[in-house]
Amino acid sequence: MTSAIIVAAGSSRRMGFNKLLAPLAGEPVLRRTLGVFQACAAIDEIIVVTSDALRPEIEAWHATALGKVTQIIIGGAERHLSVHAGLQALNPACQIVAVHDGARPLISAAQITRCIEAARTQAAVACARPMAETLKRCDSSGRIIDSIDRANAWIMETPQVFQRDLLVRAYDAVIRDGLLVTDEVSAVQHLGAPVFVVENFELNPKITFPADILLAQRFVD
């Protein structure tokens, strides 16, 4: 059994309004994200970790078209607390778990499936793309001080997919040790376990700023 945890409990501080409800080609960002996981044949259940404000909207969507959603739970103050809560809600039969940001609505079902298949053999994988831009390091005043080698540099995306027992142990350790991690890769690396990339050849931006909506709009089917 493969489960998806959709993290949708953020405050959207940088957006200035709730980005997960922002319209994208006539459909809220989060509804579009959930729809891709609903349509993905490799996903058996969806757990949505969200806020009190968004829960009624998600419940309404669930009632009409999101039958794979088994639980809608309230997240924590930080992302790692939300993921930990989602892990506690997994179906006992779950063997593979995919964690995905609700604000990445352009992920494809094909890429989700590729990540799941890779996790079955490699235990821990992350959807990612290689760094193509020139990188520079600046000081606190904004003055460029040197270059950063982009060879073997990858930009992490989601879903990040793991064998269930490994990810549960990783987040138990994060909570026990009082760490703050911003993605599942960091949590699993805290255990000393390897994580592998699954290259994504398609656009998969995280909606963070208003301009991101305009960009994503151009690529919606």
Q: What pLDDT is stored for residue 17 in this prediction?
A: 63
Please report, to the nearest 10 degrees, the dihedral formed by the alpha carbons of residues 140, 212, 182, 107 taken in order: -150
The tens digit of pLDDT for each residue in 46-95 reads 999 999 999 999 999 999 999 999 999 999 999 999 999 999 999 999 99
The tens digit of pLDDT for each residue in 109-139 reads 999 999 999 999 999 999 999 999 999 999 9
Of the pLDDT bands very low, low, confident and very high (cuts 50, 70, 90), residue 217 is confident
Cβ atoms 180, 91 nearer than 8 A: no
Share of the chain above pLDDT 70, in %: 96
State pTM to two decimals: 0.94
Cβ atoms 153, 131 nearer than 8 A: yes
Element (H, E) at 190: helix 184-190
Mind listing the domains of the chain with CATH numbers? Answer: 2-209 (3.90.550.10)
Residue 209 sits at φ, ψ, to 5 deg, of -120, 160
CA 59 to chain centre: 20
**Residue 73 to residue 35: CA distance in whole angstroms:** 18
Does the structure show a pLDDT above 60 at 37?
A: yes
Q: What pLDDT is stored for residue 219 in this prediction?
A: 84
Sheet with strand 2-8: strands edge to edge: 69-74, 45-50, 2-8, 96-101, 154-163, 124-130, 196-199
Q: What is the DSSP string of 13-52?
A: TTTSS-GGGSEETTEEHHHHHHHHHHH-TT--EEEEEE-T
The tens digit of pLDDT for each residue in 162-196 reads 999 999 999 999 999 999 999 999 999 999 999 99
Share of the chain above pLDDT 90, in %: 87
Cβ atoms 144, 137 nearer than 8 A: yes
Q: What pLDDT is stored for residue 15 in this prediction?
A: 53
**Residue 116 to residue 202: CA distance in whole angstroms:** 17
The tens digit of pLDDT for each residue in 9-22 reads 975 555 556 889 99
Of 76, 75, 74, 84, the residue nearest 187 (C-alpha)? 84
